[in-house]
Amino acid sequence: MGDTIFGKIIRREIPADIVYEDDDVLAFRDLNPQAPVHVLFVPRKAIATLDAASAEDAELLGKLLLAAASYARQEGLAEKGYRTVVNCNEHGGQTVFHLHVHLLGGRPMHWPPG
C-alpha cells in the first residue's frame, strides 16, 4: 500500500494540529473543517479503507470510535450530539487512503448527507 499524507502526519514528517494520541490512534484537526469541531481519528496502522479492514482490526476499529466518543465528551459535544463518518472509496467520497473517522460537531447536522 502506498504512503499517504496521514502517514506523514503520524510520523511527524509534516505538521498537524494533534489533539489526541495513544499507542494505536492519532487524532488531529481537519485542514478544511466542515463544522466548528472537525477532527480526524486515524489508526497508526496503515489500513487503506474500511473495506480493507479485517477481523484482526476489530479491536482497533473499536478504539477509533471510542477515542472519538471520548474526545467529543471532553469537548462538551456529547449532550447535543455530533456525527462520526467513515468515507469508503470513490462513491463514499474518500480522498485520503488511510482509514479515518471524521468527528464533526458544534452545529446541527443534516440528513441525508450529500
Mention every residue, 6+ apart, whose C-beta is less than 8 A from residue 72.
37, 78, 82, 103, 105
Q: Please identify, using beta-carbon distances, which residue of 37 and 87 lies nearer to ligand 5GP.
A: 87
The stretch near ligand 5GP (CB under 6 A) out of 29-37, 44-52, 58-66, 103-111 is 29-37
DSSP track, 50-61: GGG--GGGHHHH
Q: Please identify, using beta-carbon distances, which residue of 38 and 63 lies nearer to ligand 5GP.
A: 38
What angle is formed at CA 26 by the lines to CA 22 and CA 27, rounded to 5 degrees?
Answer: 120
Distance CA 40, CA 21 (A): 11
Q: Please identify, using beta-carbon distances, which residue of 77 and 101 lies nearer to ligand 5GP.
A: 101
Distance CA 43, CA 22 (A): 10
Distance CA 25, CA 40 (A): 10
Work out whether 103 is an interface residue with ligand 5GP (CB under 6 A): no
Work out whether 64 is an interface residue with ligand 5GP (CB under 6 A): no
Work out whether 32 is an interface residue with ligand 5GP (CB under 6 A): yes
Q: How far is the CB of 51 from ligand 5GP (least distance, A)?
A: 13
What is the binding site for ligand 5GP (CB under 6 A)? 5, 16, 28-32, 40, 87, 93-96
